[in-house]
Amino acid sequence: MTPEDREALRHAKRLLENPGLAAKLTNLIGMPLEKAMTMLPERWSDAVAIATRKSLDTALHVALNTLDDKPRSRASERLHKLAVAATGAGGGAFGLAGLPIELPISTTIMLRSIADIARSEGEVLAAPDAKLACLEVFALGGRTTADDASESSYFVVRAALARSVSQAAQYVAQKGLAEEGAPALLRLIAQLASRFGANVSQKVAAQAVPIIGAAGGSVVNVLFIDHFQDMARGHFTVRRLERIYSPEVVRAEYERLP
């Protein structure tokens, strides 16, 4: 591996293994997220689960139907941040009640930003596996209650998703979205939702703090998309290097890097 590629991999590892979303949100609201969660209304987790699943369903359809490699004026990461800041203002104003409307919009905007980053790292988005790799980003940097310290690792998460991603890509390549309730797609969405939901819960808890409001909701959403842009940059850097050196070589080097 060249020194330049090794340094790119080192930077990717820093992004992927130290996401820091919870720490940034804690600094913003001035209290632990666990305490902020006590301010949420009863059955808030049900609302988050429903909104998360709806958002990923929307993102799946956007990814499979509209992401491509046609020449276009590529939006910058900053413009995407401005867009989700606007949706976050609405979410902050309406609180948990606004989540079912705000989150699918924000998730779609984030997907567009993820796709831009993917293209910049050489992904061919006409391919189903590349489209689904964009969706994989929503599972990165989140923890589930079943995780231990080792299971937060990037390659462990990818391995956990690999079979579902492969089956979903194969299904889409053969049949497209002819059958929306296809088991292969449902399994993938369920796995993504379990991890994306952890980050959504943190976002909702931060927005629940009384001093946050609409203006703070915009800041929370900027931190939220910034997290996934970092995950995307790390993820697609690794995938680019895998196309050059092989997945085995890249993982071995990744594990050696401090």
Residue 244's pLDDT is 97
What's the average model confidence in pLDDT over 16-44?
Answer: 86
Contacts of 124 (CB under 8 A, 6+ apart): 69, 130
Per residue in 51-70, pLDDT (tens digit) is 999 999 998 888 888 877 66
- Contact yes or no for 114/130 (Cβ under 8 A): no
- Amino acid identity of residue 136, one-letter, is E
- Contact yes or no for 206/36 (Cβ under 8 A): yes
- Average predicted confidence (pLDDT) for the chain: 84
- Amino acid identity of residue 117, one-letter, is I
Distance of CA 171 to the CA centre of its chain: 22
Phi, psi angle pair for 216, to nearest 5°: -65, -35
| Cα dist from 209 to 28, 40, 100, 102, 206, whole Å | 10, 9, 19, 18, 6
Contacts of 149 (CB under 8 A, 6+ apart): none
The conformation of residue 67, written as its DSSP 8-state character, comes to -
- Contact yes or no for 114/134 (Cβ under 8 A): yes
Of 88, 61, 123, give the one whose Cα is nearest residue 223: 88
- Amino acid identity of residue 245, one-letter, is Y
Confidence of residue 152 (pLDDT cuts 50, 70, 90): very low
Residue 6's pLDDT is 97
Of 18, 226, 243, give the one whose Cα is nearest residue 130: 243
Where in the chain are the domains?
3-256
* Greater pLDDT, 213 or 196: 196
Confidence of residue 88 (pLDDT cuts 50, 70, 90): low
Residue 151's pLDDT is 46
4: left (phi over 0), alpha (psi -120 to 50) or beta: alpha
- Contact yes or no for 210/96 (Cβ under 8 A): no
What's the average model confidence in pLDDT over 249-255?
Answer: 95
- pLDDT over 90 at 233, yes or no: yes
